[in-house]
Chain A
């Protein structure tokens, strides 16, 4: 059901139980799950059905710290959200990603992988994925891992007709929510900014923020500022522990037997990750190594001639026979969650009157430890098994700062409203409900207390489906 505006919704006779803010993968997955339970919901999308620069303008912000992307382009503000420009990489979080790890500060979720596993089949269906191939052990330190690749599903295109035809999912476009307004330990109503510049109230039994890994924090920080911390009564960690997946080239390797480098058919890559035993003993973040076959094999061997003329001389003789290959090694890793990486409100405001985002983001010494240890571990594996030799990139070898002209990160916005066992450590509980507020929930990767190394969309959908079940049970009980 499409409603042209709040007035039409309020006078329609449609009585949604849940108001969902945002229309990306978390939001639509949640609405679909509620629909399966027969629970009506309504989605508030800030934009229309396509990219609109005047709407997108609300995502402009400032980044303080390490080089990062222009925030205005890092997310999409229209129906379907950022699924409109994702590449389709999928993989659930590892079991260890949920566990508290000694030596990796602020780690540990109040739920475990087994809590999300029941949603694997439904998530695969939504994202149109083949089942995930199981990991293959390599040695005590490493395992070969696999990804699933969505076509990619753009939620706006895939679900527009379904939602338009649905009797239980309502949708309002060009309806940015600018405040969640509290009263007596609950959210009383939302304020929706109209195209004419006024605000309209929407009152519903339950609300769920699925606006994105920055926007969820921005909206709650602003609502708290306006309403004396009533929207988030325990705001100690609000906006904090924000994370990304840093991604950098880390080296090149000569692989002695190119046939051992069989890669996936999608991106032509091979992937490695640490074992949980390894992570528990190395005080570091999780990481994913991506080996991309190809590259200037002869140049690499010639470089190797300077350090081991005999070994590389033999390789040079065979280089023309295509028996070995070069591989470029890239690494994506789990960033240490720290409170200093955070979202704050800027003094400048967007057109709806909401303060813009100020993002503080800096990689920590522990992040450097993760990338350096990971690279050494893989280089050691190649050499000691005599599968190849690796040359580490200069900025790591020479202890220089991260290069600014690199991939930098994965556009994965995580944290800010982290899930925790107690309000002292996070914003939402194990059911994604905001601590101290009876009817406010949060969906999306802003609830991640730690981020693992894998792309977050898969886990976002799993969490949204689980949240749908929880809300449905609660509503039915009530």
Chain B
């Protein structure tokens, strides 16, 4: 029914979809900033 490639891509898409609410939850409004592993960082922080 599915090729091995389709199955793996499907599983990856499913995993991403289930993570989506979590990622969406931590959008930072200020354009100068970005989230990095829970840290609120300036985009140009190196």
Partners in one complex: yes
Please list the residues of chain A having a beta carbon within 8 angstroms of any beta carbon in chain B.
303-304, 306-311, 372, 376, 379-380, 382-384, 386, 389-394, 396-399
Further pairs besides A307-B36, A307-B45: 9, Cβ < 8 Å? A307-B37, A310-B46, A311-B46, A376-B28, A383-B32, A383-B40, A384-B33, A389-B39, A391-B38
Contact A308–B29 (Cβ < 8 Å): no
Assign chain B's interface to a size class: 20 to 34
Q: Which of A308, A376, A394 contacts B38 (CB 8 A)?
A: A394
* Interfacial chain A residues near B46, Cβ < 8 Å: 308-311
Chain B contact residues: helix, strand, loop or mixed:
mixed
**A-contacting residues, B1-46, CB 8 Å:** 21-22, 24-26, 28-30, 32-33, 35-42, 45-46
19 contacts between A and B (CB under 8 A): A306-B37, A308-B41, A311-B45, A311-B46, A379-B40, A380-B30, A382-B40, A383-B33, A383-B40, A389-B41, A390-B39, A392-B38, A392-B40, A394-B38, A397-B35, A398-B22, A399-B21, A399-B22, A399-B24
Contact A383–B41 (Cβ < 8 Å): yes
Contact A380–B21 (Cβ < 8 Å): no
Q: Contacts A384-B30, A384-B33 given; indicate if A304 touches B39 (C-beta within 8 A).
A: yes
Bound together, the chains give a CA A398 to CA B38 distance in angstroms of 9
* Interfacial chain B residues near A376, Cβ < 8 Å: 28-29, 40
* Interfacial chain A residues near B45, Cβ < 8 Å: 307-308, 310-311, 389
Bound together, the chains give a CA A382 to CA B33 distance in angstroms of 11
Q: Contacts A308-B46, A311-B45, A399-B21 given; indicate if A391 touches B26 (C-beta within 8 A).
A: no
Q: Contacts A309-B46, A397-B35 given; indicate if A392 touches B41 (C-beta within 8 A).
A: no
Q: Contacts A383-B33, A384-B32 given; indicate if A307 touches B42 (C-beta within 8 A).
A: no
Bound together, the chains give a CA A7 to CA B7 distance in angstroms of 83
Bound together, the chains give a CA A311 to CA B28 distance in angstroms of 20
Which 8 pairs across A and B sit closest by C-beta, in order of nearness?
A379-B40, A399-B25, A307-B36, A310-B46, A308-B45, A399-B22, A397-B38, A398-B22
Min CB gap B33→A, angstroms = 6
Min CB gap A68→B, angstroms = 24
* Interfacial chain B residues near A372, Cβ < 8 Å: 25
Contact A389–B40 (Cβ < 8 Å): yes
Min CB gap A175→B, angstroms = 52
Contact B30–A307 (Cβ < 8 Å): no
Min CB gap B39→A, angstroms = 5
Bound together, the chains give a CA A328 to CA B32 distance in angstroms of 24
* Interfacial chain A residues near B25, Cβ < 8 Å: 372, 396-399
Bound together, the chains give a CA A398 to CA B19 distance in angstroms of 9
